[in-house]
């Protein structure tokens, strides 16, 4: 991340994580030292999203999701999404984000920003000197990012979003997102 500060300043962006006082993170679990890999089965045959593949043999290998999803463990955090501001980008309420603070944000990056002491999820658009932080929700106004506002900072870049596709028979999401979603108050449909 040290090398990214110059790139950010050259483009009129504030340095990542600078003076993020007042922001509290709730860790979803303890920070653990690098452990032994957890190898999960991986089918070598790709999944056809169009026409079915005629291949019948499925040779399996192993995959470690830590290696696949967390290239920089010391600068990577997991955050749970709350709200639908980025739903058009495929990021929904309850999704789990993999955020890497060592990645340099670029135009089009989905970023976590600190704004007024809160973490927000936005897309970086524009260019120097008119960078903007934009939500997919058209009712949310873009935020101007000019480097002069110490209360608006890029905290990290989203490198992956884990999105639950299955639902239980009662309609609730399955997996860890279901636990946090069930503890939040539900809005009525009326």
> Is the per-residue pLDDT at 190 higher than 50?
no
Mean pLDDT of 87-116: 94
Mean pLDDT of 148-177: 75
151 lies in some domain: yes
44 lies in some domain: no
Q: Please return the burial class of 56, using the count of CB atoms within 10 Å of its CB with bins 0-12, 13-18 and 19+.
A: exposed
- Which pLDDT score, from 0 to 100, does residue 61 have? 75
43 lies in some domain: no
- Which pLDDT score, from 0 to 100, does residue 130 have? 87
Tokens of 172: 């609730």
- Which pLDDT score, from 0 to 100, does residue 84 have? 94
pLDDT 10s digits, 3-59? 444 545 555 555 554 444 444 455 555 555 656 776 666 666 666 676 665 554 555
105 lies in some domain: yes
Host domain of residue 171: 4-37+71-183
Which whole-number Å values give the CA distances from 17 to 47, 103, 112, 154, 155, in the listed order? 39, 12, 10, 6, 5
Q: What integer best gives the mean pLDDT of the chain? A: 74
CB-based contact 5:100 (threshold 8 Å): no
Tokens of 36: 């032994």
- Which pLDDT score, from 0 to 100, does residue 26 have? 52
- Which pLDDT score, from 0 to 100, does residue 152 have? 87
| 7 against 74, higher pLDDT | 74
Total domains in the chain come to 1
How many whole angstroms separate alpha carbon 124 and alpha carbon 120? 12
- CATH number for position 117: 2.10.109.10
| 75: DSSP letter | G
Provide DSSP, 1-64.
Answer: -TTHHHHHHHTT-PPTTTT-TT-----SS---------EEEEESSPPPSSSPP------EEEEE
> Which one of 82-86, 115-119, 165-169 scores highest in mean pLDDT?
82-86
Q: For residue 70, which of 124, 105, 25, 32 has the smallest C-alpha distance?
A: 32
Q: For residue 90, which of 164, 179, 177 has the smallest C-alpha distance?
A: 164
164 lies in some domain: yes
- Which pLDDT score, from 0 to 100, does residue 91 have? 95
> Bridge-partner residues for 79, per DSSP?
97
61 lies in some domain: no
Bond into 129 cis (ω within 30): yes
50 lies in some domain: no
66 lies in some domain: no
Of the chain, the percentage scoring pLDDT greater than 90 comes to 38
> What is the pLDDT confidence band of residue 113, given thresholds at 50, 70 and 90?
very high
- Which pLDDT score, from 0 to 100, does residue 167 have? 63
- Which pLDDT score, from 0 to 100, does residue 135 have? 96
Mean pLDDT of 144-172: 81
- Report CA dihedral (100, 152, 88, 160) to the nearest 10 degrees: 0
Report pTM. 0.66
């Amino acid at each position: 991340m040290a090398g990214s500060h110059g790139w950010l300043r050259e483009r009129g962006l504030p340095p990542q994580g600078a003076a993020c006082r007042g922001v509290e993170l709730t860790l979803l679990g303890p920070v653990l030292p690098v452990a032994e890999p957890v190898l999960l089965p991986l089918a070598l045959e790709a999944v056809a999203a169009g026409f079915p593949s005629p291949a019948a043999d499925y040779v399996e290998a192993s995959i470690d999701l830590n290696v696949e999803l967390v290239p920089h463990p010391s600068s990577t955090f997991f955050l749970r999404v709350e709200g639908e501001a980025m739903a058009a980008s495929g990021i929904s309420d309850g999704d789990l984000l993999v955020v890497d603070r060592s990645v340099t944000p670029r135009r089009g990056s989905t970023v976590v920003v600190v704004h007024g002491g809160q973490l927000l999820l936005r897309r970086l658009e524009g260019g120097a000197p008119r960078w903007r932080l934009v939500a997919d929700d058209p009712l949310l106004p873009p935020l101007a990012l000019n480097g002069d506002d110490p209360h608006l900072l890029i905290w990290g870049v989203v490198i992956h979003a884990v999105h639950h596709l299955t639902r239980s028979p009662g309609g609730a999401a399955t997996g860890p997102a279901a636990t946090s979603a069930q503890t939040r108050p539900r809005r009525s449909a009326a």
